[in-house]
Structure 1
């Protein structure tokens, strides 16, 4: 089964949640990717960037579920944490490559094959998006469906 993942910027949780049924494309600038577990990726990226354990982040309810009308069985919207957004904002190219390499290694340990170049492309796109939204006082969200 193919999963579409769209990262986007929105002014608040209510605005982000409003697009859960249709996706963000008609309302917000978004980046589209596919075929990975977005919720797990958000946790893994934050863990790698910040040094917090995956388990501690899960216990802290990261990422924040903004909208999940199908209770995990359909489109949902997640909010990236401020810590992840801050890490993406300040990450240089070398750091993005390093985090991508570590993320691909984690996915590989779970039996998934993920191209390091694509991982760098994803994180670089997210870093660019987050840098742009910082000036607008918006936050990073993830829609998957």
Structure 2
């Protein structure tokens, strides 16, 4: 399995959706990761940060799909919820490490090995992006192919 994941900040849904075909790197600064189910991760992170149940978030259609031009067969763009974005922005390093540890444990419970240090590193990068947004109208998005 080889999945490319790029998190980026965009001014709105339309701007984020516009990069669905080619990816955000030529338009927006992005953080690149790979090889995990980012749709599931967004829900798991929000669940861990906020205490909301995973099933409730899925029932609320999280994460929001902003663009899916390949109808599940190609690149897709997700929007991180405002709640997750704010949780990431306000998380200090110890909270990021804790959430990374809990996320790695959830992945292990599902039979997927995920290093806690890498999990914390991913979340620290996302927290930095979320902090850069601040109180603005921009949003945190994720492109996956």
TM tier, smaller: over 0.9
In the alignment of these two chains, the number of paired residues is: 145
**Unmatched tracts of structure 2, length 5 or more:** none
The residue that corresponds to 1:75 in the other structure is 75
1:91 and 2:67 aligned: no
* Secondary structure of the structure 1 residue equivalent to 2:119: helix
CA-based RMSD: 0.8
Residues 12-69 of structure 1 deviation map (CA, whole Å, 9 limit, x = unaligned)? 0000000000000000010000000000000000000000011000000111100011
* Paired residues for 1:1-145 under 5 Å: 1-134=1-134, 136-145=136-145
The structural deviation recorded for 1:137 is 2.7
Structure 1 stretches lacking a partner, 5+ long:
none
Distance in structure 2 (CA, Å) of the matches to 1:129 and 1:139: 10
CA distance in 2 between partners of 1:93 and 1:120 (Å): 9
Take 2:130 and 2:90, find their aligned partners in 1: how far apart are those partners? 10
Q: Distance in 2 between matches of 1:97 and 1:125?
A: 12
Q: If the length of structure 2 is used for normalisation, what is the TM-score?
A: 0.98
